[in-house]
Amino acid sequence: MTGRAVELLGGVWPVLAPAAVAGGAWMRAARRRLQLNRAMHELRRPLQALALSPGEALGHGSAEAPGPLDLALMALEDMDFAVNGHRPAASVRPVSARAVVHAALERWRPLAARADRSLSLEWHAGSAVVMADPPRLAQALDNLLANAVEHGGLRISVEASIRRSGLRIAVADGGADGRVAARARDPRRGHGLDVVRRIAAAHGGSFELRREVRGMVAALELPLAAGT
């Protein structure tokens, strides 16, 4: 290579190098996206097959109280959105709050029992109807109960009450070590609580986490349907 060629290459390289690095990053991102889409394709097929099979044993729920299989399919939709940017519009409508909360408790009661924890419900909300997307509300409740069962004490309580701002669903973990709050500050953990915050905000509600005598209390508030 002549000196002139070396000189020219030296002048061009600072321009080409960033483009080469960016091109490599784009190719890696494209391969990762392809792999994720393949994995979603393989996961979607058995889930869809199960969804077409009758029976609550397979995790089916109802229109107001989605089951585990329904929530798994929704999580797959969320993954599709993260990879490809496509998400079905939320279906917010009047929903019986007690039906969704009761279904969530029943989903988690067996796991709580295996962990030697009890789940109790105090319902002070009558026949409250909230404006919600049932699968998203179920997803929020599952995250709150999962946190309490995994990291709380022996007695986990759920209390529902009517407030000026709407329906308040509070999950007290009965613990005494503040691990839920510590996870909320740990960037590696606390993803479930972030999911609850996003769902609350999307519904025009709120979410808070605070310490009380009965342990860490995670409270989700949602607007009531008109006329409730």
The 10s digit of each residue's pLDDT in 131-145 is 999 988 988 998 899
Q: In the predicted model, is pLDDT for residue 77 greater than 60?
A: yes
The 10s digit of each residue's pLDDT in 198-216 is 899 999 999 999 888 878 8
**Chain-centre distance of CA 139, in angstroms?**
5
Instruction: State how far the Cα of 110 lies from the Cα of 122, in Å rounded to an integer.
Output: 19
Instruction: State how far the Cα of 25 lies from the Cα of 12, in Å rounded to an integer.
Output: 20
The strands making up 206-212's β-sheet, listed across from edge to edge, are 118-124, 155-163, 166-172, 215-222, 206-212
CB 132 within 8 A of CB 203: yes
Which CATH number does 93-222 carry?
A: 3.30.565.10
Quote the tokens at residue 58: 């397979």
Instruction: State how far the Cα of 143 lies from the Cα of 145, in Å rounded to an integer.
Output: 6
Instruction: State how far the Cα of 81 lies from the Cα of 71, in Å rounded to an integer.
Output: 15
Averaged over 26-36, what is the pLDDT? 75
Residues pairing with 206 in the sheet? 221
Q: In the predicted model, is pLDDT for residue 29 greater than 50?
A: yes
Instruction: State how far the Cα of 192 lies from the Cα of 185, in Å rounded to an integer.
Output: 13
